[in-house]
Structure 1
Amino acid sequence: MLSFILNRALQIIPVIIGVTIATFLLAQIIPGDPADVLLGSTASEETRQELRTALGLSEPVYIQYGIYLKNLLQGDLGQSFTFAEPVTQVLVSRLFNTSLLAIAAIILASIVGVAAGTWAALKPGSIRDQGLSVVVLFFNSMPSFWLGLVLILIFGLHLRLLPVGGMDDATGSLAGLAAHMVLPTFTLAAWSLAVIARMTRSAILDVINSDYIRTARSRGVSEARIVLRHALPNAMPTVITVIGMQMGFLLSGAVLTETVFSWPGIGLAMYQAISTRDIPLIQGGILVLAIAFVLINFVVDILYAYFNPKIKLA
């Protein structure tokens, strides 16, 4: 197991290097001049050129990447134009908010998705199985920002049951935080919930007709015990892989959800950065989310090997 973990860890290194190259090239591809953003259109050309030299923008691309990589290794992601503070400080202050929303969403999606997929797999082709298929198709076809707006209209503006924006109420209590989390959490979790439910159903159907399942039934073991003790554990490697992948997608999908609900996380900061062409903050946000996605996949690989020993032997 240790050699498997070390092998996977070594494979992460070139991936992270590729991520740094991609985020650096992003600044080269985005149209516009950072000097114009910082100085405005009324600044003289000499002043613009001095700023480009100070920022290292006059150097060749490979030298700029070397400077970017050196600063990155020192934890320096540059200065945010939008917030007038270091990008690292902006991202760190908002990382908890994004993580809180993503973790709540993946917990909701995992619990409901696994339960719904298992429930539907027990009677394939039944009304409840077909109903699950309709719900899965509905959530998979619905953009998260549209779902968020619909929930705001229904539960926020029409029924006035839940807050529709921000993170805390005036009291700053846990109850206020929980109330603010309901709508964005469900919006973020809806697509992943549908995917997890569909994959859980498929995974259980793959094992439900196995020889050991038929043996357990012939011995008079109850259907609930068969599912919980035999079918579901053997389907878990596939389900865990899907859940881990969805966690990475939730981090990236938080950009739209946080924007719709004004949730003060990395996603909202990146939206504001895109609006103001704040390239250092865009680079930093994408880099953090991409590295988080890579690390989540690393953990998923380890868990998959733990539940499926054949992977370790391979």
Structure 2
Amino acid sequence: MLSFIARRALQTIPVIFGVTLATFLLSQIIPGDPTDILLGPGASEEARAQLRQALGLDRSAAGQYLLYLQNLVQGDFGQSLTFSKPVSEVLASRMMNTALLAFAAIVLASVLGVAAGTFAALKPGSLRDRALTVVVLFLNSMPSFWLGLLLILAFGLQLRLLPVSGMTSGDGGLVNLLAHMLLPTLTLAAWSLAAIARMTRSSLLDVIGSDYVRTARSRGIGEWRIVFFHALPNAMPAVITVIGMQMGFLLSGAVMTETVFSWPGIGLAMYQAISTRDIPLIQGGILLLAVAFVLINFTIDILYAYFNPKIKLA
């Protein structure tokens, strides 16, 4: 097991290195000059040259990348041009907000997805199974920003039941926070819910068709007991893998959802950084989300190997 963990850990190193290279190259191809944002279009060429030298922009592309890596090793993500503070401070102040929203979304998607997939698998081809298929196709086809706008229109503007922007309002409090979380959580969880429900149904149908399930039925064991105590636990490894992958996707999907609902997380900060060409913040945000995605997949690999010893030999 330790050798498996060590191999997986070593495999994450080139991935993270590739992410740093990709984010750096992205900053090179984005049009515009960062000095225009900091100094304004009316600044003198001398002031621009001094600023470019201070930021290391006067170096070659290779020199800028080496400087970028050197700063990353020291924990320096650069200075945000939008917020006028270190990128690490901007991301740290918003990371918990994004994590809270993503955690709520994955819990909701997992509970409802497993329940819906199990409910549909009990009677394949039935009306409820076909209804689930229609709902899954709808959720998979609906862009998150469009679903968010529909929820805002329905529950915020028409019914006036829920707040549609921000994280808290007034005096705050837990109830106020939960009210603000509900719509963005539903929006963010929709696609993942559909993926988890589809995988649960597929895996459960495969297990239900196995020999040991037929043997259990022949012994007179109740159908619900067979499903929940025999079939579903054996179908869960594949479902757990999908849930782990969705956790990474939710972090990246939070960019659009947070923008729609003005949720003060990393996603909204990234949108603002893109709008103002804040290269250091864009690089830091992408790198943080990518590392989180890699670490989540690394954890899921370990859990999967723990529950399925055959994976250790891979």
Paired residue secondary structure (2:78): coil
CA displacement, residues 135-176 of structure 1 (integer Å, 9 cap, x when unaligned): 000100100101001101111111111111100121220010
User: 1:180 & 1:69 partners in 2: Cα distance?
Assistant: 39
Paired residue secondary structure (1:52): helix
Structure 1 residue 37: Cα displacement = 1.6
Please name the residue that 1:190 is paired with: 190
User: 1:312 & 1:289 partners in 2: Cα distance?
Assistant: 28
Please name the residue that 1:44 is paired with: 44
Structure 1 residue 223: Cα displacement = 1.0
CA displacement, residues 40-82 of structure 1 (integer Å, 9 cap, x when unaligned): 1101112111111111111111111111111111111110111
Identity %: 76
Please name the residue that 2:151 is paired with: 151
CA displacement, residues 65-122 of structure 1 (integer Å, 9 cap, x when unaligned): 1111111111111101110100000000000000000000000000000110011011
**Contact (CA 8 Å) 1:23, 1:287: kept in 2 or not?**
yes
Please name the residue that 2:307 is paired with: 307
> Could you tell me which amino acid in structure 2 is paired with residue 304 of structure 1?
Y
TM-score (norm 1): 0.98
Root mean square deviation of aligned Cα: 0.8
**Are 2:137 and 1:137 equivalent residues in the alignment?**
yes
Please name the residue that 2:242 is paired with: 242
Please name the residue that 2:27 is paired with: 27
User: 2:234 & 2:155 partners in 1: Cα distance?
Assistant: 40
**Contact (CA 8 Å) 1:237, 1:307: kept in 2 or not?**
yes
User: 1:257 & 1:148 partners in 2: Cα distance?
Assistant: 7
User: 1:25 & 1:243 partners in 2: Cα distance?
Assistant: 31
Paired residue secondary structure (2:81): coil
Moved more, 34-43 or 179-188: 34-43
Please name the residue that 1:124 is paired with: 124
TM-score (norm 2): 0.98
Please name the residue that 1:72 is paired with: 72
How many residue pairs end up in the alignment? 314
> Could you tell me which amino acid in structure 1 is paired with residue 61 of structure 2?
V
Structure 1 residue 234: Cα displacement = 1.1
User: 2:306 & 2:126 partners in 1: Cα distance?
Assistant: 34
Paired residue secondary structure (1:302): helix
User: 2:228 & 2:312 partners in 1: Cα distance?
Assistant: 25
> Could you tell me which amino acid in structure 2 is paired with residue 57 of structure 1?
L
Please name the residue that 2:271 is paired with: 271
> Could you tell me which amino acid in structure 2 is paired with residue 205 of structure 1?
L
User: 2:62 & 2:169 partners in 1: Cα distance?
Assistant: 48
> Could you tell me which amino acid in structure 1 is paired with residue 4 of structure 2?
F
> Could you tell me which amino acid in structure 2 is paired with residue 27 of structure 1?
S
Structure 1 residue 270: Cα displacement = 0.6
**Contact (CA 8 Å) 1:236, 1:307: kept in 2 or not?**
no
Please name the residue that 1:218 is paired with: 218
User: 2:120 & 2:308 partners in 1: Cα distance?
Assistant: 25
Moved more, 52-61 or 107-116: 52-61
Moved more, 43-52 or 249-258: 43-52
Structure 1 residue 177: Cα displacement = 0.4
User: 2:88 & 2:283 partners in 1: Cα distance?
Assistant: 11
**Are 2:232 and 1:232 equivalent residues in the alignment?**
yes
Paired residue secondary structure (1:153): helix
User: 2:10 & 2:222 partners in 1: Cα distance?
Assistant: 46
> Could you tell me which amino acid in structure 1 is paired with residue 240 of structure 2?
I
User: 2:189 & 2:266 partners in 1: Cα distance?
Assistant: 17
Structure 1 residue 313: Cα displacement = 3.3
Q: Which runs of 5+ in 1 are unaligned?
A: none
Please name the residue that 2:109 is paired with: 109
Structure 1 residue 33: Cα displacement = 1.0
Structure 1 moving runs of 4+ over 4 Å: none
Moved more, 31-40 or 116-125: 31-40
Please name the residue that 2:297 is paired with: 297
User: 1:181 & 1:250 partners in 2: Cα distance?
Assistant: 15
Structure 1 residue 304: Cα displacement = 1.1
User: 1:313 & 1:220 partners in 2: Cα distance?
Assistant: 38
**Are 2:201 and 1:175 equivalent residues in the alignment?**
no
Structure 1 residue 23: Cα displacement = 1.1
User: 1:309 & 1:231 partners in 2: Cα distance?
Assistant: 19
CA displacement, residues 233-264 of structure 1 (integer Å, 9 cap, x when unaligned): 11111101100111101000001100010000
CA displacement, residues 197-238 of structure 1 (integer Å, 9 cap, x when unaligned): 011101111111101111111111111111111111111111
